[in-house]
Chain A
Amino acid sequence: MTVPERTRPKRVVVVGHGMVGHRFAEALLARDTAGAWDITVLSEEPRPAYDRVALSSVFDGADEASLRLPALDAARVALRLGVRAESVDRAARVVRTSDGEHIGYDELVLATGSYPFVPPVPGHDAPGCFVYRTLDDLAAIRSSCLPPGAGVVIGGGLLGLEAANALRLLGLDPHVVEMAPHLMAVQVDAGGGALLGRLVTDLGVTVHCGTGTARVLTDPASGQASGVELADGTVISACVVVFATGVRPRDQLARDMGVAIGARGGVVVNEACRSVSDEHVWAVGEVACADGIVYGLVAPGYAMAETVADRLAGGAAVFAGADLSAKLKLLGVDVASFGDAHGRTPGALCVTLNDPVRRAYGKLVVSDDAATLLGGILVGDAGRYPMLRALVGSPLPADPSALLAPEGAAADGGTGLAGLPDSAQVCSCNAVTKGDLLTAITSGAATDVAGLKACTRAGTGCGSCVPALKQLLGVAGVAQSTAICEHLRASRAELYEIIGGAGIRTFTELITRYGRGRGCDICKPAVASILASLHTGDHILDGERGALQDTNDRHLANMQRNGTYSVVPRIPGGEITPAKLMVIARVAEDFGLYTKITGGQRIDLLGARLEQLPLIWKRLTDAGFESGHAYGKALRTVKSCVGSAWCRYGVQDSVGLAIELELRYRGLRSPHKLKGGVSGCARECAEARSKDFGVIATENGWNLYVGGNGGFRPRHAELLVADVPTGELITIIDRFLMFYIRTADRLQRTAAWIEAMDGGLEHLRDVIVADRLGICADLDAAMARHVADYRDEWKAVLADPRRLARFASFVNAPTAPDPAISFTVERGQKVPDRPLLPLEVL
């Protein structure tokens, strides 16, 4: 019988909290359910791990928090921020840290990553020269550049193009200098590189290939970098110079420890990612040299992290080398390379398709008998990447040229996901196979893309396989029915087209012609919303329409838990005069209403009985108030800060714009509620980025962010357009809202709508900014109709006795207060008396 070796938890120290070190800690936590390990993570950077791959998005509106990786369980991991490992005593198994502490370990995992390599050209260390690696690097670049002007990136690889994008987002004209004859020489060939060069040139990037950098020019007075001189004599004036000329393993600590180091750097490890010199030392990610290779991508790093975690948990996982396939979006251009992209296999044949009209380049590398796919390159359109990548090593299912043909043009000759073997990897970031995904689907563990992400992690890395996940759900036959309910077998977007196309004006007509039964609480409000959007001149309570409205719309007020209602007058932009405040106060006092300031910068009056609503609104409309549509799936408010009129920091009139937007979109019915915000400067006091549409003032105009929300799953809005003038801004918001109203599902907020859209934000931009579908004139006209036909709903009710009739408390006693409703007092105001619930009695 064996006795457990020891009972105290073993200690593992992770040096480095980048993406790979983070992944290791996550992976060990997941496997170590018994709590056998004490984990300490040393992070030289003063912040927890973040998504370095998405670094340039910081200049595209993302903030630090949105890049942050999911936090490690603080109860199980000691994360030491701003603490560096200075030295390691391997004999004593102790790490000495920069703050002088000695931390003992049983196992040591090196995840120190790499450092940027800067070529020793003259002037490379002048102020104004930067590298592109960390959030601090980006902050330094931002604080040093003064647009307009040029910025130079030395290096035309993946990192260089990312850096060029960052400079472009900062408002500079980027120049890229690349020694090789074309861009991204590691990933793509000359043909793909040439097209890539053309595409990025069109985006405003000046490309200088086939030439080196002779020296960095400096301002004689300040010593500051002022540009570069290239080997061919070209001089580029620039305010910043960014070196993106590759990385080297950050292995000094390992060298000092005396473990074996590879010829080109990196800790030499075996197939378990364990140092060949010390069985208690492991290395993962860009600091590891596995089988002579130092990998510079995140996916192999993750695979190494999982391998070590498995080993420490008692497993026997092996890191057997990694595939360097990648699909990237650089400056909005798709670039993918997979397998033996450069045709280095002896006898390999290449088939290329260079389509200058579609601006797409594709190359497939096949075995000498043209039977097996070995690899390939795609530039301009990488839609087929997931499928082609998964086919590497498999027999070709169709002629290579058919595999490169534009999607849709070729018949699906077994090339789709359905034709792939179960062993084919669909998500390369997390090594998830088609078989893994099908198991998750058929076992019922996942019924949609979100479910697949949660249970397999597929699609949570670069996200390029998400379309493939959708297709797989379809292949497995669990594609969700788009029918809205049992009465109407159509999605909301289809209903919108049917109702608009067939000129339908009533629910009865719709259900008689296109559905069955008498509807329900799902389809009726959806149809009511569509009818309101299409027939902007009609009142939502007239005729049969009144019976379709959901709880709150039915009486133009929000029903509360005790059957009373809340009243919310519109206060556009949150701006209100003292006189109007007094009106609200008097109405609240006279009707005994509870008052509260809402999150949307207005005032909620609660506790009104049904029969009181017209009396209350008479008083409010007489004083100039209008319905605030707090009850509707409609525009709620456009929140604002005080802006340039008062604020010392404001650069634009945020209140003025918020009022203009709120008045423009008031009464606009939509698939779900809509909220807007306008901030007068980048400090963002209006919290505009938590809104469906958020506007933030810049020195030159406005930045528009879309798809934000608070609520159950908070999400920041993303930048749609930058620095636009007011007129253009409003046109784009018009189109955004109208396109949403037409195509979203019922109760789908804008965030979920954009997430579910094929092509996401890029596609949205294509449709409503570039007008790729040619529907913008239509969207503009629809919004113009809404603006022209807007009438205050409450004023229209008060003017019509038939509409007023629905506000009777009882059909046999129209003005009698309901005896079942009672109140109590809390903190000086009335609140619902909590009834004894019949269910609790039972």
Chain B
Amino acid sequence: MSTQTIVRHETVVLVPRSALVPEQGAAVLLPSGGSAALFLLHDGSVHAVGNLDPFYGAPVICHGIVGDRSGAPTVASPLGKQVFCLRTGACLDDGKVSLPVFPVAADGDVIHLSIPVHEAETAALTS
């Protein structure tokens, strides 16, 4: 089951692109006190997913190894090694689990990370 939430992307967090290292995630502190995991990939694209590992409840997804599975960009949980798709947030090793995905947009050197108002409640539950 999943929580029914009307998602409105209202809050925007700005992160300078120069603060990111390719293929090494970074945690972004969100106004709610939660965090997102932000990734700059080898091809220059940027992705953001929830930072909370749904299997352990620990804020560590940003420390996972970035790579690809059959061409889709992925991050592996540093705790249990479950692999998540960075585009959809889906856990590729467990169909019942996924990470929330946050829209990102680049404006020159600044990355805009949009987060839903209720991200604190829904971050880990959206599936």
Contacts and interface: CB of A to CB of B under 8 A. Distances in A.
Secondary structure dominating the interface of B: loop
B115 interface: no
Which label, helix, strand, loop or mixed, suits the secondary structure of the A interface?
Answer: loop
B110 to A, nearest CB: 12
B124 A838 contact: yes
Contact of B69 (A520, A547, A811): A520
Contacts of B22: 544, 547
B58 A812 contact: no
A658 B1 CA distance: 57
A509 interface: no
Contacts of B67: 487, 517-521, 523-524
B52 A810 contact: no
A820 B125 contact: no
A487 B70 CA distance: 9
Contacts of A837: 54-57
Contacts of B103: none
Contact of A819 (B33, B60, B81): B33
A250 B36 CA distance: 77
B28 A810 contact: yes
A601 to B, nearest CB: 27
B34 interface: yes
A525 interface: yes
Interface in A573-589: none
Contacts of A34: none
Contact of A561 (B35, B58, B76): B58
A550 interface: yes
Contact of A518 (B13, B56, B66, B125): B66
B65 A559 contact: no
Nearest to B73: A518
Interface string B3-32: 000000000010100011111101111000
Chain A interface category by residue count:
35 or more
B89 interface: no
Contacts of A487: 67-68
Contacts of A554: 63, 78
Contact of B66 (A547, A816, A820, A842): A547
Contacts of A563: 53, 56, 58-60
B68 A811 contact: no
A133 B16 CA distance: 78
A809 interface: yes
B106 interface: no
Contacts of B34: 820
Output the residue of A525, A808, A818 with the most chain B CB within 10 A: A818
A524 B79 CA distance: 16
B78 A559 contact: yes
B108 interface: no
Contacts of B35: 810, 818, 820
Interface in B56-108: 56-60, 63-71, 73-74, 76, 78-79, 81, 83, 96-97
A613 to B, nearest CB: 13
Contacts of A423: none
A680 B74 CA distance: 50
A524 B38 contact: no
A80 interface: no
Contacts of B42: 508, 518
Contacts of B24: 546-547, 806
A825 interface: no
Contacts of A508: 42
A821 interface: yes
Nearest to B51: A820
A71 interface: no
Interface in A510-559: 517-521, 523-525, 544, 546-548, 550-551, 554-555, 559
A517 to B, nearest CB: 5
A811 B55 contact: no
B78 A835 contact: no
Nearest to B113: A812
Given A521-B83, A812-B29, A841-B125, A562 B58 contact: yes
Contacts of A561: 56, 58, 79
B79 A551 contact: yes
A836 B97 CA distance: 16
A839 B60 contact: no
A813 interface: yes
5 contacts: A517-B67, A554-B63, A821-B58, A835-B58, A838-B124
Given A809-B29, A810-B28, A835-B56, 20 more contacts: A518-B67, A518-B68, A519-B67, A520-B69, A520-B74, A521-B81, A525-B65, A559-B60, A559-B63, A559-B78, A563-B56, A808-B26, A811-B15, A811-B27, A811-B28, A818-B29, A819-B33, A820-B33, A835-B58, A841-B125
Interface of A: 486-487, 508, 517-521, 523-525, 544, 546-548, 550-551, 554-555, 559, 561-563, 806, 808-813, 816, 818-821, 835-839, 841-842
Q: Which 8 A-B pairs have the closest CB atoms?
A: A835-B57, A563-B58, A838-B124, A520-B67, A551-B78, A521-B76, A811-B26, A547-B23
